[in-house]
Amino acid sequence: MDLGVTDQLSLRELAGLYRSKEISDVIRGMSFAELAAARASEGKGKQPDGAEGKSGSYMGESYQERLSKITDKNAANAFRQAYAMKMAGGTDYISAISKAYASGITGAMNFADAFSQYQVITHVGNANISSANWQRNDFPFWKYFRPDTSADALNDWLPTGPNPPQTRGDLQRNYGSIGPGRIAVLVPESLQQKMDADPAYARQIMAKLQEWKADYDRWDNTVAASYGMDVAEHQASKSYVFDLDENGDVRNCTVTSSGGRLTGPTKEEQELFEAEQDRKYQLRVKYIRIMEESAERHRMQEYENLRYLQNQLIMQDLQLGSGSHSLPDGSPTA
């Protein structure tokens, strides 16, 4: 699926596996009324010219712009839930955790202060990585966490062979070498120059990336919760690489967890999840069938009881009409 950022993000949204009917179980602190109001706001934030105000954006785009790029149905449902949580005010537990890890020093004008709870490294230069290369599991993004790696160091990287699985041993070791709580930011020279010349503009760029990260984490953490994971632990385990364009928008992003892999379910987890969902579905079908059969038996029993009662009334009418009477033992009277 194409979410308009990178395939690394798509891996998280493979958690489009999680079903919208289950998400209510993980939106703690969010009432039905709040959710309904948030759903309604999906259509209210749009301006006549198709643009939306800041309050209607998610990960730097309008609701419709972002949603239109999601081709997987379950991933789209996941996005709607995350968007609804944000539009409801983000007072739920998952949003609170996500925003807490996207808040740094007030008025921050650099990335280290904007994400003060992380170990941040910034590479200023002209990174130019094709989306096809960035999306590969073996793209060596982990090198951006090294201080001696320049922003353009991987511009000439070329893949060999088909895209390998995340579970490949050497990739797991490279992912795991990053560790938790780290952020690497690739900043174009032109963007850095504008921020250096205008502190107010620098603050805007910091706020923009903070909001983007909070939006992404809200989505990713909702997925984690649907798998029964501890949201706080999952959030604390992540590290990020942000590749920004000249306007400070996220061009590419890769997120890892300290478990030694890109965040998102493995193929095995997907299969287990799908098998569990199928088992639950079969149980529901079986339960409904049992209830239907029970209801049919009950209906037939009521029908038989009604026929018996009607026959008894008819017999009584016939006896009264003939003038015959019976004694308690059933023998006719004289």
Instruction: Tell me the β-bridge partners of 121.
Output: 184
User: To the nearest 10°, the Cα dihedral for 25, 93, 99, 1?
Assistant: -10
Task: For residue 105, give both structure tokens.
Answer: 């020093």
Q: For residue 279, is it within any domain?
A: yes
| Tens digits of residue pLDDT in 249-278 | 999 999 998 754 555 544 555 555 556 555
Q: For residue 331, is it within any domain?
A: no
| Tens digits of residue pLDDT in 70-105 | 776 666 777 788 888 898 888 888 899 999 999 899
User: Can you give the residue range of the structural domain that contains 143?
Assistant: 7-157+169-264
| Tens digits of residue pLDDT in 202-225 | 999 999 999 999 999 998 888 787
Query: Where a domain ends, among 214, 235, 264?
Result: 264
Q: For residue 163, is it within any domain?
A: no
Query: Where a domain ends, among 264, 283, 311?
Result: 264
Residues 6+ apart with CB under 8 A from 153: 143
Same domain as 249, residue 283: no
Residue 82: phi and psi, rounded to 5, are: -65, -40
Q: Among residues of the chain, what percentage have pLDDT more than 70?
A: 68
**For the chain, what is the domain count?**
2
Same domain as 315, residue 190: no
Task: For residue 267, give both structure tokens.
Answer: 């193929």
Q: For residue 162, is it within any domain?
A: no
Same domain as 281, residue 255: no
- Comparing CA positions, the residue from 107, 59, 64 lying closest to residue 86 is 59
Q: For residue 299, is it within any domain?
A: yes
Question: DSSP characters for 80-110?
Answer: HHHHHHHHTTS-SHHHHHHHHTT--STT--S
Same domain as 196, residue 254: yes
pLDDT mean over 285-292: 63
Report the predicted TM-score, pTM, of the whole model to 2 decimal places.
Answer: 0.63
Same domain as 114, residue 75: yes
Query: Where a domain ends, among 239, 264, 289?
Result: 264
Same domain as 314, residue 185: no
pLDDT mean over 283-308: 72
Q: For residue 1, is it within any domain?
A: no
Q: Give me the sign of the Cα torsion angle 310, 315, 318, 320.
A: negative
Residues 6+ apart with CB under 8 A from 321: none
Q: For residue 71, is it within any domain?
A: yes
DSSP, res 164: P
CA-to-CA distance for 64 and 170, rounded, in angstroms?
Answer: 39
Same domain as 281, residue 306: yes
pLDDT > 70? residue 131: yes
